[in-house]
């Protein structure tokens, strides 16, 4: 399996259930280690890294967006983001600015103090995007980010991804949705461990 993603590229990976898409995303996100081969992120051979170095690389250079958004319902929108910065050990003096910047990018400033449980589905997914871009990652990895959204909210999420790609961030999306696959610059299909290039839409 060979896969290369360029800075600013929007890549969609699709395939049937059980094809290994989530496993591939976990490897790309340094959550799993491949049993063979090589994997480089930003020119770094990740297989040569220690577990702690992989964790640091993942925290600083990679952003994750999950289908279920993983918003903490009892915490405010701002607190959901601040927790991410705490995990990343971002200096306290920078956290407020980074939270405000991220909320501005996803148009959620007006919901800053709202508890997560009161957000709509679309707002929760936009918060998930804000959380993923907080630390200015070089690579954004999204697992079915539009799967539970109506078309309007799905399009808003893709517009947010467009803005990240325009800043040079590589955006990799796992999807079952033909519209999302068609949005990407390039699509590849995963089947039985084999990636097949589908080219530009």
Q: What pLDDT, in 10s, does the model give residues 96-133?
A: 999 999 999 889 999 999 999 999 988 998 999 999 98
Q: In the block, which residue shows the tokens 């990343």? A: 88
Provide the residue count of the chain: 201
Q: Is the pLDDT of residue 134 over 80?
A: yes
The dihedrals phi and psi of 101, each to the nearest 5 degrees, come to -60, -45
Residues 6+ apart with CB under 8 A from 196: 188, 189
Q: Is the pLDDT of residue 201 over 60?
A: no
CA pair distance 102, 123, nearest whole angstrom: 13
What pLDDT does residue 108 have? 94
Angle between helices 151-166 and 121-133 (to 10 degrees): 10
What pLDDT does residue 3 have? 85
Q: What is the pLDDT of residues 44-97, one digit of tens each?
A: 888 888 888 888 888 889 999 987 788 999 999 999 999 999 988 889 999 999
pTM over 0.95: no
Q: Is the pLDDT of residue 199 over 70?
A: no
Residues 6+ apart with CB under 8 A from 18: none
What domains lie within the chain, and their CATH numbers? Answer: 10-199 (3.40.50.300)
What pLDDT does residue 43 have? 85
Are the CB atoms for 165 and 7 separated by under 8 Å? Answer: no
Are the CB atoms for 123 and 111 separated by under 8 Å? Answer: yes
Count other C-beta atoms under 10 Å from residue 9's C-beta: 16
What pLDDT does residue 91 have? 92
Q: What is the pLDDT of residues 138-171, one digit of tens each?
A: 999 999 888 777 888 888 889 989 999 999 999 9
CA pair distance 137, 161, nearest whole angstrom: 12
């Amino acid at each position: 399996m060979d896969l290369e993603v360029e800075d600013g590229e929007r890549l969609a990976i699709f395939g049937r259930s059980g094809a290994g898409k989530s496993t591939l995303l976990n490897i790309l996100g340094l959550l799993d280690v491949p049993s063979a081969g090589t994997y480089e992120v930003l020119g770094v051979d990740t297989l040569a890294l220690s577990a702690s170095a992989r964790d640091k690389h993942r925290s600083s250079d990679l952003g994750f967006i999950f289908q279920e958004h993983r918003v903490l319902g009892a915490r405010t929108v701002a607190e959901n983001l601040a927790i991410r910065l705490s995990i990343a050990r971002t200096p306290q003096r920078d956290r407020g600015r980074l939270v405000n910047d991220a909320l501005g990018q996803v148009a959620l400033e007006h919901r800053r103090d709202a508890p997560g449980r009161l957000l709509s589905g679309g707002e929760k997914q936009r918060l998930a995007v804000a959380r993923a871009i907080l630390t200015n990652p070089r690579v954004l990895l999204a697992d079915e980010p539009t799967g539970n959204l109506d078309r309007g909210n799905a399009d808003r999420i893709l517009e947010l991804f467009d803005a990240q790609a325009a800043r040079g961030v590589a955006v990799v999306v796992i999807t079952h949705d033909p519209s999302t696959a068609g949005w990407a610059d390039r699509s590849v299909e995963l089947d039985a461990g084999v990636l097949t290039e589908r080219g530009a839409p």
